[in-house]
Amino acid sequence: MTYFKDLSPYAYMENHGALNLPTLNIGWLSDREPFKKGRSTKEFKDKLFRFCSDEFVVLIARGFHACEFCGLKWEQWHKERQGKYGEKAGWASIGDGEIRVLGKSAVYAAPTLIYHYVLEHQYKPPREFIEAILAGEPDSKEQQELLSHYYRA
């Protein structure tokens, strides 16, 4: 996967100019670059999981990206999902697309692997992204309008 510094302007795929807000990178990690670590609340992790549910993923790729830190692959994710990540984990994507999160002054673009990074590698996203996740709802009218600017599954 391509590395992008957190809060840098998004430039990985077509941006679609959603809602005339800047789109900023979050969670595009690499094993060659250090990243901030820390604890995340259960509320944040649960809400992030919901944003990563298949129905809210955009720009789905034709393949899956393995985690560069532990080698987790799609097959492992789906084999382990219910025991390790909960009953609804079958509806969460990992390594195959992106999520968009509407913030106060920006749209945040993250790979679906962000959920795994937070849970397994203690990745601590920037405060404004955490606040956007906690304040938002993936199925809200505003979020759905944002997602309508992207190709979806």
* Residue 52 counted as domain residue: yes
Q: Tell whether 1 is covered by a domain.
A: no
Q: Which domain holds residue 56?
A: 18-147
> Is 12 domain-assigned?
no
User: Among 143, 98, 108, which Cα is nearest to 8's?
Assistant: 108
Count the neighbouring beta carbons within 10 Å of the beta carbon of residue 108.
28
Residue 3 covered by a domain: no
Q: In this predicted structure, what is the pLDDT of residue 62? A: 63
Report yes or no on 4 lying in a domain.
no
Count of structural domains, the chain: 1
pLDDT of residue 68: 85
What is residue 12's predicted lDDT score, i.e. its pLDDT? 76
**The whole model's pTM is what?**
0.85
Phi first, then psi, for residue 107 (nearest 5°) are -105, 135
Domain annotation covers residue 7: no
10: in domain: no
pLDDT tens track, the chain, 153 positions = 689 999 999 987 766 556 788 999 999 999 999 999 999 999 999 999 999 888 898 887 766 667 888 876 555 555 555 555 555 555 456 667 899 999 999 999 999 899 989 999 999 999 999 999 999 999 999 999 999 888 654
Residue 100 lies in a domain: yes
pLDDT at 79: 58
125, with CB counted inside 10 A (0-12, 13-18, 19+), is buried
Residue in 132, 119, 140, 121 with CA at minimum distance from that of residue 23 = 132
